[in-house]
Structure 1
Amino acid sequence: MGKGKKAAKRADDDAVVGDEGNGGYKDALYELQVELVKLHRHIIANGEKLLVLLEGRDAAGKDGTIKRIMEHLSPRESRMVALGKPTEREQTQWYYQRWIEHLPAGQEFVCFNRSWYNRAGVERVMGFCTEAEVETFFLQVPFFEQMLAQSNIKLFKYYLDIDNDEQKRRLEDRRRDPLKQWKLSPIDDVALKHWDDYSRARDEMLARTHTPVAPWTIVRANDKKHARLNLIRDLLTRCDYEGKRAKVALPDPNYVYPFARAAAEDGVVSA
C-alpha cells in the first residue's frame, strides 16, 4: 500500500465516529455499532456486567433505540428485557424482586425497556399503586442501585423525552400502521390526557433518584435518528474497552446531556 493510501486509511481509522452530517445516518450508525461490538467483546472477555435502562414518554423511541443498540451484539450474552403487567403473585413480592432475575450476569449486556421506575411513572399516574408505595420506592431505590454498583453492575439510566405534539403524531401513526399494531396499549389511549401528570411525575422521579452512583441522562428524542446516535455516543464515551477509537464523537448536548436538579424548573428536561 502506498504512502498516500496508508495516510488516507489512518485518517479514516481516526475519523470521528458518527458524523451523520458527512456520512449519513446509516454510515454513522454502522460505525457506532462497530464500537458497540468492540465494547461487548471487552465485556465478554473480562466478565463484566452492563445494564442500560431506557425510560421515557410513551412513543419516545425506546424500542427503536434498543433495537439499534442490540442489533449486532452476541445473542448469547445480550438481552432486552420488557416486563409486562405483574401477576397476582408478583404483586405480593418485594417490588424489585421480579426485576432481579433479569439483571446481567458476568459477560452480559442487558437493556431494560422500562424498569423499576414504572412505580414512579406509569403506576403512579394511572393509580396502580398508592402514594405510600411511591414514597417507599423513592426511599429504597438509591440503596438498591448502590447495591447493584457494589455488585459490579455498570448501570446507565436514560430518560427519553418528546414534546406533546410529537407524542400525538407518533401515537396516531401507531394506530394507522398495521406493522405497529402490537405497540398499542390501553395506556397509550390516555397518555395525552395525562400529559401534565406524567410531566410532574417525571420531574419528581428524576430529581429524587439522580444520584452520584446512578445518575440520569436526558435524551431529547423528537428526532429519532439524532436521539439514537447521540445516546449510543454517550454510552460509548462513558465506557472503557479494548480497541476503542481515539476519536469517538462526543454526544451533541442539544440531544443528550446529564440531568441537573434545576433542569425541571428551568424547562430543560422537556423536549
Structure 2
Amino acid sequence: MTKSARIERLPKKIYEAELFRLQGELVKLQEWVKVEGARVVVVFEGRDAAGKGSTIKRVAEYLNPRLARIAALPAPTERERGQWYFQRYIEHFPAAGQIVLFDRSWYNRAGVERVMGFCSKEEYMRFLHQCPIFERLLTEDGILLRKYWFSVSDHEQEERFRSRLQDPMRRWKLSPMDLESISRWEDYSRAKDEMFMHTDIPEAPWHVVESEDKRRARINMIAHLLSTIRYHEVQRVPLSLPPRPPSSGYRRTPREMQTLVPDHAASLPAVAEPSAKSKSRQSRRRHP
C-alpha cells in the first residue's frame, strides 16, 4: 500500500455555489418524483470514512423528509436473521412519489459480513447469485435504482480516522469495526472486486465516486444522480398569504399559568459579532 497523490481541494466558494445550485435541482427532482409517482432508490456504499454520510446529508438537506427518507439499518435482530436476506431492506423501499437513500444496504453481505465472517460461504454465494436477480426485479417494476461506491485511499482513510479520534464531537463515528478495516484493507479490496464482478449489471450498474476530496465527491455524485433521471421542473400552484382576520376576542393564557423553558440564553455572556475569520471557520465545520 502506498500513499496516493494528494488531490487538490475544490475551492470553498466554487463548492458552496455549485452545491446550492445542485440542491435546488434535487428539490425540482423531488417535486417531479411526487407528481409522476416515481420511486427512487439510491444506494451509498464504499470504504469506511469515504464520505458517504456527509454526502447523504447534502442530498437530503433541503428535501421533504416525508418524501425523501434515509434508511440506515442497524444490525439485524434475531427475527430478521431468520428471514430471507433481502426482506428487511424491502420494508424500507419507497412507495409512489418517494425517494429512499440507503446509507449502506443489502451489500453488507458482500462486504463486512464476508470479510468479518458474519455469514457462511453458502450464504455469501447465494447472495451473489440472487442480488442481480433481485435488482432486475426492482428495475423491471419501475424502481429507479442508482448505486454509488465511494472510493478513498488507505492513506486518506487513516487520516480521517485520526481526525475523528481527536474530535470528541465526531468520535462516535468510529467503532472497533471501522478500525478493523485498516488491518483488513486488502481483504475488503478483494471483496469489493468480487462484488462488482457479480453485481455490476446493465440494469443497475455501479458508479464509482472518487472521494479523496469530499467536496468534489459530493458535487460529482449529486450531479451524476441528476443526470441519470429525466426529470423536469413541475409547475407549482401559486400560493399567497391570506389576510389575517380581525380579533374575535381571544385572550392568550397568562404565561405564569404555563411551565416555560428557562431562558438559558439570558445567562450567556455578551459576545461580539463573529469576525469574518470566525464565520469562515464555522462554515468549514459545516462543509468540511
After TM superposition, the score normalised by the length of structure 2 is 0.76
The root-mean-square deviation of aligned C-alpha atoms, in Å, is 1.4
1:181 partnered with 2:171: yes
Equivalent of residue 197 in structure 1, options 178, 187, 190? 187
Query: In structure 2, what is the Cα distance between the partners aligned to 1:155 and 1:231?
Result: 14
User: Which segments of 5 or more consecutive residues in structure 2 lack a partner in the other structure?
Assistant: 1-9, 235-288
Identity of matched residues, %: 49
Q: Which amino acid aligns with 2:211?
A: A
Residue aligning to 1:125: 115
1:23 Cα offset (Å): 5.2
Residue aligning to 2:61: 71
Q: Which amino acid aligns with 2:207?
A: T
Residue aligning to 1:110: 100
- How many residue pairs were aligned? 225
> Which secondary structure state, in structure 1, belongs to the residue aligned with residue 146 of structure 2?
strand
Residue aligning to 2:230: 240
Equivalent of residue 221 in structure 1, options 203, 206, 211? 211
Q: Which amino acid aligns with 1:89?
A: R
Residue aligning to 1:62: 52
Query: In structure 2, what is the Cα distance between the partners aligned to 1:22 and 1:157?
Result: 27
Residue aligning to 1:163: 153
Equivalent of residue 27 in structure 2, options 37, 42, 45? 37
Residue aligning to 2:88: 98
1:21 Cα offset (Å): 6.4
Q: Which has the larger radius of gyration?
A: 2
Residue aligning to 2:77: 87
Task: Map 1:5-44; keep pairs closer than 5 Å.
Answer: 24-44=14-34
User: Which segments of 5 or more consecutive residues in structure 1 lack a partner in the other structure?
Assistant: 1-19, 245-271
> Which secondary structure state, in structure 2, belongs to the residue aligned with residue 55 of structure 1?
strand
Query: In structure 2, what is the Cα distance between the partners aligned to 1:173 and 1:165?
Result: 13
1:148 partnered with 2:111: no
Query: In structure 1, what is the Cα distance between the partners aligned to 2:172 and 2:136?
Result: 35
> Which secondary structure state, in structure 2, belongs to the residue aligned with residue 74 of structure 1?
coil
Deviations 1:68-98 (CA, angstroms, capped at 9, x unpaired): 0011011211100111111111111110011
Query: In structure 2, what is the Cα distance between the partners aligned to 1:99 and 1:173?
Result: 32
Moved over 6 A (4+): none
Evaluate the alpha carbon distance shift between residue 43 and residue 191 of structure 1 in structure 2; reply closer, same or farther with a 3 A threshold. Answer: same
Residue aligning to 1:17: none
Deviations 1:32-75 (CA, angstroms, capped at 9, x unpaired): 00000001100001111001000000010010000000110112
1:22 Cα offset (Å): 10
Query: In structure 1, what is the Cα distance between the partners aligned to 2:12 and 2:165?
Result: 35
